């Protein structure tokens, strides 16, 4: 690729990232990564990306693990390594190893965040890192006859303490250790610390850097976005998940059910994966959200331009009837749109008729890049529910090229005489559209 092409590619990327830069300023992200991430050669580059987020005004809470480092210390000490239900049993011999390993990892992270070499991505970063006794824990105790000893669970996150550090522009670093009011130290799961922190802080995002590319669909493609319901269904089929993804999915579902807007699963092996996930429209990981109709809303006058841009190619090929800007402006109250990061990616209109229980579905369109993700089905479901709420019991559609799509979704073939009288008078015989009607439950 020539230098001018490279320059244009950079300019295009930078322009497209600007909405995210504005949207993320002042937001709180909890980012969790395991000790494996810290041990890899590319960790310094990840730290540089974290520093960039901090410089853009993102409030960061970093949660690190230390599993391989702890296991190395245990082997060196000749201590027993035993896991039950994914949790390490921490006895009196293991606890000092846990504390030493966690402290070493924490210091390594703080050292990298403190770098400020000239002619490097960290030049003049001057990042303040805050850590300490921000996690209160309690012992897991005895479960199913197993004594977990010094392995604990999160009791409380010091929300005020973290917000105080953020007010002073510091990155907060949490370790997989918790402290009890009686002065005890407990070994914790980093995933639990991150999830508890995200929920109690009501973070905007919870991000797990994982060791795999994520859950895949029936065609082996990466599932880019899941509702909580879809994630729960996937979790029920655990054979579809690899590695630690069962735990990540459980944490993501819990976080979304308890007020965290979005949870992301990002493969840590992708260079710059965190930035690609956050600053590109489709990302490179898996997004899990509790809002099944995320971005779906009634259209407003400011959406006219986006709708026109979306439907123009379909009008040009004859799939949709042409609509002028003036007509769209007068009918905008009938439209519903799906918005993804500032871009209209789908739309549909619901027009009432003189028959109170009949309405026309029109101008259903989905951007080509999003047609394989089920958004057309979700938008149709949304419109059908809206129709039911309005007392409508039948919706009809006129189509020239998508008859099969509507038939597969419960629409049945109909005649012109089946339509309300006024709509019959508007039928365009030149287009010769097929008519389909769907009864709503």
DSSP at 162: H
Kindly indicate the confidence band of residue 163, based on its pLDDT and cuts at 50, 70 and 90.
very high
Distance CA(431)–CA(436), nearest Å, equals: 15
Q: Is the pLDDT of residue 237 over 80?
A: no
Indicate the residue among 261, 289, 317 that finishes a domain: 289
Q: Does residue 5 belong to any structural domain of this protein?
A: no
Give backbone dihedrals phi and psi of 87, rounded to 5 degrees, phi first. Answer: -110, 135
Question: CA geometry: angle at 164 spanning 162 and 165, to 5°?
Answer: 65
Per the domain annotation, does 6 fall within a domain? no
Residue 117 has a pLDDT of 53
Indicate if the pLDDT at residue 20 is higher than 60. yes
Q: Which pLDDT score is estimated for 17? A: 84
Q: Is residue 414 part of a domain?
A: yes
DSSP-assigned states of every residue in 268-309 = TTSTTHHHHHHHSSS-SSEEEES-TTTTEEE--GGGHHHHHH
CATH number (domain holding residue 328): 3.40.630.30
For residues 251-271, average pLDDT: 93
pLDDT over 90 for what percent of the chain?
67
pLDDT tens-digit profile of 54-79?
A: 999 999 999 999 999 999 999 999 88
Asked if residue 349 and residue 282 are part of one domain, the reply reads no
Give the containing element (helix H, strand E) for 365.
Answer: strand 358-366
**Which residues in 152-184 are b (16+ Cβ under 10 Å) and which e?**
bbbbebbeeebeebbeeebbbbbbbbbbeeeee
Q: Where are the alpha helices (DSSP H) in 25-93?
A: 35-39, 43-55, 67-77
User: Taking 80 as the threshold, does the pLDDT of residue 153 lie above it?
Assistant: yes
Which range has the top average pLDDT, 218-227, 273-282, 360-369?
A: 360-369
- Look up the domain containing 324 and give its range: 296-439
Taking residues 320-329, report their average pLDDT. 95
Evaluate if residue 190 carries a pLDDT over 90: yes
Kindly report the CATH number assigned to the domain that includes residue 195: 3.40.1160.10
19 lies in the same domain as 121 = yes
Residue 175 region, left (φ>0) first, then alpha (ψ -120 to 50), else beta? beta
309: confidence class by pLDDT, cuts 50, 70, 90: very high
On whether both 312 and 433 belong to a single domain, the answer is yes
**Domain end point (choices 264, 289, 314):** 289
Q: Is residue 270 domain-shared with residue 344, that is, in the same domain? A: no
Residue that terminates a domain, selected from 260, 289, 318: 289
- Closest by alpha carbon to 99, among 90, 112, 108, 109? 90
What average pLDDT does the structure give for the chain?
90
pLDDT tens per residue, range 90-124: 999 999 999 999 999 999 999 998 886 555 666 66
Q: What is the mean pLDDT of residues 358-378?
A: 88
150 and 230 fall within a common domain: yes
One domain, residues 369 and 251: no
For residue 3, being part of any structural domain is answered with no
What CA–CA distance (Å, rounded) separates 197 from 358? 49
Q: What single DSSP character describes residue 355?
A: S
Q: 164 in a domain, yes or no?
A: yes
What pLDDT, in 10s, does the model give residues 192-235?
999 999 999 999 999 999 987 777 776 677 888 888 888 888 88
As for how many domains the chain has, the answer is: 2
Is residue 432 predicted with pLDDT exceeding 80? yes
pTM over 0.85: no
Of 24, 26, 30, 28, the C-alpha closest to 196 is 30
The more confidently predicted of residues 134 and 247 is 134
Inside any domain, residue 263: yes
Of the pLDDT bands very low, low, confident and very high (cuts 50, 70, 90), residue 23 is confident
Residues 94 and 235 in one domain: yes
296-298 and 335-340 strand pairing: antiparallel
In this structure, the answer to whether residues 346 and 276 fall within a common structural domain is no
For residue 2, the model assigns a pLDDT of 60
């Amino acid at each position: 690729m020539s230098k001018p092409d490279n320059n244009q590619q950079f300019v295009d990327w930078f322009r497209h990232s600007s909405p995210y830069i504005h949207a993320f300023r002042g937001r709180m992200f909890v980012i969790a990564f395991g000790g494996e991430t810290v041990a890899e050669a590319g960790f310094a580059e990840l730290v540089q990306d974290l520093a960039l987020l901090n410089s853009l005004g993102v409030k960061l809470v970093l949660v690190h693990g230390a599993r391989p480092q702890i296991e190395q210390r245990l082997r060196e000490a000749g201590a027993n390594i035993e896991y039950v239900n994914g949790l390490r049993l921490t006895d009196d011999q293991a606890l000092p190893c846990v504390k030493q390993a966690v402290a070493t990892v924490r210091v390594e992270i703080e050292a990298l965040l403190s770098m400020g070499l000239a002619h490097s991505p960290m030049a003049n970063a001057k990042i303040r890192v805050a850590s300490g006794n921000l996690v209160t824990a309690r012992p897991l105790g005895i479960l199913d006859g197993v004594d977990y000893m010094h392995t604990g669970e999160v009791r409380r996150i010091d929300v005020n303490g973290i917000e105080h550090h953020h007010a002073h522009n510091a990155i907060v670093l949490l370790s997989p250790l918790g402290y009890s009011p009686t002065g005890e130290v407990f070994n914790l799961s980093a995933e639990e610390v991150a999830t508890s922190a995200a929920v109690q802080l009501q973070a905007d995002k919870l991000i797990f850097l994982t060791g795999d590319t994520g859950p895949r669909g029936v065609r082996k493609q990466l599932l880019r976005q899941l509702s909580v319901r879809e994630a729960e269904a996937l979790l029920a089929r655990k054979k579809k998940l690899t590695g630690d993804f069962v735990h990540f999915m459980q944490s993501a579902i819990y976080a979304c059910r308890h007020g965290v807007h979005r949870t992301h699963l990002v493969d840590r092996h992708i260079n710059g994966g965190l930035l690609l996930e956050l600053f590109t429209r489709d990302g490179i990981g898996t997004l899990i959200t509790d809002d099944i109709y995320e971005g779906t809303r009634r259209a407003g006058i400011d959406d006219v331009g986006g709708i026109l841009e979306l439907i123009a190619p379909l009008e040009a090929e004859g799939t949709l009837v042409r609509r002028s800007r003036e007509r769209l402006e007068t009918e905008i109250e009938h439209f519903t749109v799906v918005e993804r990061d500032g871009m209209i990616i789908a739309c549909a209109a619901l027009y009432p008729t003189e028959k109170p229980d009949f309405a026309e579905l029109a101008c259903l369109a989905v951007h080509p890049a999003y047609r394989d993700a089920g958004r057309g089905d979700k938008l149709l479901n949304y419109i059908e529910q809206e129709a039911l709420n309005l007392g409508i019991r039948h919706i009809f559609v006129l189509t020239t090229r998508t008859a099969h799509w509507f038939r597969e979704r419960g629409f049945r073939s109909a005649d012109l005489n089946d339509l309300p009288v006024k709509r019959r008078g508007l039928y365009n015989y030149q287009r010769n559209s097929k008519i389909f009607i769907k009864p709503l439950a």
